[in-house]
Structure 1
Amino acid sequence: MLKTISLRTGWPLLAIFIAGVIGAGLAVGLIAAPPEGYLETLRIPDAIIPPAISGPLWFALAFAFAVAGWRLWTIDPRSIETRIWLAIQILSWWFAPAFFVMRAPSVALLVICALSVLMLWFILSAWNRDRLSAYLFIPCLLYVAYTATMTAAIVAMN
């Protein structure tokens, strides 16, 4: 029997998911902020989204990511989809440190490519269990694919 997802009774857990995802992302962003002058040493493609757009976009995508995780956790916390979601969450913490702290765009490219594969696997896996969670991940995958493309361009240009 498919478990019902109720915002009325499930909102405390949803709030925890949202706070956890956004809080972890902000913490990683603060810890792995670009060092002063580092970006100026790199040749960057013209298609990079400016921070004024990428910040709010990241926030919206993190919100969608949190809602998808909450929905799947509510349905079955031990499901493969929930485990993939958690793996994506953990792996996503490594992109900024690889790129900015290690100053290794090639390592960041490996991380973001692995993230793309996991996100596609998540969408395909979640499609039959909870289609809304799969839909919520499509914009996330598109943004990660864009980021992978820009990271590959940075690696190639430098």
Structure 2
Amino acid sequence: MSPRFALFAFVLLSLGGGGLIGLLVETGDWYQSLAKPAFNPPGFVFGPVWTVLYILIGFAGFRVWRAGLRRLQQLWWAQLALNFAWPVLFFSAHALTGALAVIALLVLVILAFVAIAWTRERLSALLFLPYALWTLFAALLNASIVWMN
């Protein structure tokens, strides 16, 4: 596979997969009726933030694939699966506590990716830092919603 095609495929997978999940998962009246903390961002923030993050995630996935870093590839796929599972649990299944468990595991996988990549593929680690910060924030938000509801 050519590097350009592979880069396109990784970005398309993460961005397209995240976009598809976003389209298929309905937040609706149920989410609006939940008590939320004061630091809950307005809805219009999530689309642009996730667009940028999914591009960074895709680029990092391409880099660890190209470098042949098997353990990082496994962590990359694990974070993507957990990332795509979270909105289904939270918004579709209304499983707030289950979603919290998934996002906590997602944070751990992202941090493991960053820690391992730091010495072997530093740019990929740096690409994951905004994702780690946003996911930590999202986990705090998820925990707050569980607590308040």
Q: Normalising by structure 2, what TM-score? A: 0.95
**Counterpart residue number, 2:112:** 121
2:87 corresponds in structure 1 to 96
How many Å apart are 1:72 and its aligned residue? 0.4
Q: Name the CA distance, whole Å, in 1 between partners of 2:63 and 2:115.
A: 16
Structure 1 residue aligned with 2:40: 48
Aligned to 1:137: 128
Which structure would you say has the larger Rg?
1
What is the percentage of aligned positions where both structures have the same residue?
A: 32
The answer on whether the counterparts of 1:65 and 1:137 sit within 8 Å (CA) in structure 2 is yes
Q: Match of 1:12, as an amino acid? A: F
Task: Give the equivalent residue in structure 2 for 1:66.
Answer: 58
The amino acid across from 1:72 in the alignment is: V
Higher helix share: 2
Match of 1:112 among 77, 85, 103: 103
CA RMSD of aligned residues (A): 1.1
State the TM-score, normalizing by the size of structure 1: 0.90
Unmatched 5+ stretches in structure 1: 1-8
Aligned equivalent of 2:141: 150
Q: Which runs of 4+ in 1 moved over 2 A?
A: none
Q: 2:29 aligns to what?
A: 37
SS state of the match for residue 37, structure 2?
Answer: coil
Q: How many residues align?
A: 148
1:26 is aligned with what amino acid?
G
Structure 2 unmatched runs, 5+: none
SS of 1:143's partner is helix
